[in-house]
Structure 1
């Protein structure tokens, strides 16, 4: 039997030349066509019929098979005579279609006609890989009732629509067919063999006669399906086996601009399958394939055109930058408004035609080494939204559409966080740094409401393009955002500052996210004085920074200007005019180079503390590694200012706070570029304390002891009022600080102080400036100063203020040891803390030199005025 199977497989390797037809007129069954199997148990008798001649043993089964691949649109005919009484042990199965040559094995699949059996019938059966045969058409019982002569001619047809028809002619002539029935069955579409399988008892070993086998396929092939396999490969399936060498010109895709078919290749193992290779990507959506002049194995040609419509849903591709967005954030889920009490994110595929493959994409917080990874097979359709949450919370969002429940879903900070989506290769696909100010609604930020991206076409924007959801449930997980609107980014990127990290590395800081590809072009940058740039590297994850590598080292404290032009942000806005920034390689700080310029220690409700520093030196100084300290009676609180390079130019201000956005919201007239966010802030008591600035070596650069009593006594409410340095060059003492003016909102973070006074200079020992002042807290000449410049140090002075009638008003200074120069401010208040009336006043100055014992008296006049 093994030799038989090998021989049959060899025969099958050659395509059939015609339909099957065998009347045994040549006196044999071993050629034209070749039947194989239990060949020794069959013979062609003198009447030129195929006759069984097996062993006379009850329970014997015999088989003969011949290759035949006809399967649909086919007619099968044969003559038979069973000269026996049919029964459960005496019957014949004529196989029309079989997938393998061994008809005896239980795994053979196909269709056969059973002659006889217990019902003594002619019936059509289907055989699957497992289980017993099942009826397709159940013939008339008793139609083969003779015990010696059961002549019958059988005809079976299968239409291209898989409708089977079974006919029987009891005369055997083929002219008087009776229909046994019809049925539809499309289970098996392929055939490799047809044949006979006999079962008999000992007395009937020579009682089976067959003749006139004919298999006719007169119908052309029909298209069953067309399936996109890749963007440029289409698999076409027919209802039957087709020609071994299909022509590419037989195929075309309908529609203007449709890709051409380059090649057509029949599958090596499934002759009904043809692989088409296209010249361009297949269009998404509905498509139509046309096929002409396609032939089956028997020469039946479909002149066509045959047409098949199909839908191309796209093929998952790894997402690029901004091809998967975080469009909604529920960071504070309680108290609930109408959504599940669970943190979630919403992601969105903003593309019009890209099926995004999320497998391996990582969701994580900035700086974290762990993250939540999307599973293999996770996809996002063009325009589709999905909810992302913790793995144990996925069922809570099942009703909202597509949900990805991820292990290691990051905990979302209520006040804010920085979230990243990274590709399998580590590329940053999307980044968002949100805070609770993005709600723009104090009630909603307390919990139960999400924040939503407003314009999905502007994914790089921050607070301006996000706001609290307006949906009554608190958010819109898995669907379009309730705040959806057009809010395009029309602003080109601006260069905020530049920092020399090393003598040959300069880092540029931009105001928004850049297109990292265009930003890497060295031709976009230039230095003055000229210096060669050897490398440009945009810095991930948000690409707001660009590092330039220089060919030659910079000189310490030598000012240099970098210019950037045609820089493009991540949504395509290109900078028009060149944008520039000055920088220098920073020097080494000395005490007093950096001073405390303004302090807010008692913020208004919802506000935060801040400390403003001023670089009053002639050096460029890097605050990287510096510390800000608060000293109180209970201890010292020392915290790092920044772990990143941040250089202050001469005369530059920087505002230190944990929440620049809050400070900027409370004091709108600010310079946003002057703010430096600290991760945490030292505690500043509301009544009194000491602020200290230390450099990276621990050296104290400046120290200021504040007290609420230093505020203008006329103020009824000190909340939200800062103390400002009056003279930059003056000492960090209470006498050099004053309450910020009401006219500027009681604080000036990031811009010149409202109470700033220049040094009047001059060659006199004592000078009053201004000589007329209006102490009303509006920031316009709120105080006057007694300025001194002496010939040597070591003097001691007392200053007293009298009114025009000579009455004592204020002891301003008592026995104070003086430096060579300095000043004393008077805020117009008396010793009792009351505002001095409008009028003339006299400063009586007593100057004493202990080394010589000399004493000098001076009088200077000042006017307390009022604005009408």
Structure 2
């Protein structure tokens, strides 16, 4: 079987004889300060200021320089591999080697890449090419694409090794593993990267922020960076470095004022060693300030925090009822702004409706969308009647209680639309340049009517004449609804007294000279005309200098729609149109025969 030869790269970085290496590639090159030598055509500093593998074939490339590495050393850097590492796509970071022939050297290296999904940072010692694993970080942490980490490796003069890493882009590194090996110490050595890849990953290795420094003792105590309330009984305390696991979970090291006291539990995790979760028996009070006193906490170098007091606020958003929908005469759907506690949501006594409805006989929280509650009523709601729902004692999942609310709602069930129940009340068919048409509908009946049952048409067109009304909205008697393809134009150019009844919906095209607007509904297979108006430009007031942007208004609800005398240009004094409210030209009711 023909094999694809993996592509192998060697990147060697410069370090001066002072034992200090620092390169973040912000200068945009790798030829000065420090100087890199070797096969420089096979990599670049990219537009993000990172060193990037940049080749297009199977080859081996080497870049190298000597580095005066201290006996006590800190190696730090970031890398990203835009693939899932494997045996054929892997990275070796040579921390130190006694020759630039990395296949047969003495020293230490990290390796990322192996068969399966257990890829981890693994620390090896190499003795003339014979490799011995001496430490392994978190198994599987680098098993998926992208495999990335910010790492720090320390080695003391005695041979004590520590591997620190962060895999999610953060700046706080966790202690991953420790080891002991004093076979080789510092000296005038080589530092570099060895990249093995198939051709598909020839540009998918990235490196940045590389430093080699002397290991200095950590003399700085940890400090608190943030306190985050998680619930009324839990807070999370974040520190600026990894903590000692024993002192971090000692309960007497934490104290909260206002009778909260010591926590009953302190949780430290090896996956996030700089964060402690504290759980208390006594609950916090929402919208209240507290002080947390911390003492005797140590970092992993045994530096002890000075007793300190940090203020924090408990400030959770309370639940709020935001919508009530009557889905039948005996059923309500309630929507809250957040998930609700099941016990309080299910208590029928927490809900009361006026007009002799009282408490529901059943209250049920939606198991899939826990911000929704369904109420079942014993007494039927009356169509068209306004109601008031009182809600109290409801809590969210954190135990925060809702402020008692009185929420108004209507019970409206639409009836069948018959001819002249809804009438065309106003039309803008010749908008200003770049503007939008609109049609206003008026409920001239005593019924509750759903405009989504309508079809709006221009019967004088042969194509594109019909548009469905896609808005579900029930009009009460004597209410208006305005349909327009572009809400913004209407809002910007006219006074809109009732924006809640201005709806964006497609309309048929209306010619400027003349045309038609008609309302239809369907009864089964039958289509019934509800109202129809044949308009013409010369219906406008003859002394108007410019008819663009001026609507035609009905002057009487009782006048026949198809009568020219029923229509008049809207007053220019009110802006040329009155969408959503009383027409400027409306006359007292007149009997038409």
**Shorter-chain TM-score: what band?**
0.3 to 0.5
Q: Which structure's CA Rg is the greater one?
A: 1
Which TM-score applies when normalising by structure 1? Answer: 0.33
Tell me the TM-score normalized by structure 2. 0.46
**Greater relative CO, 1 or 2 (CA 8 Å, sep 6+):** 2
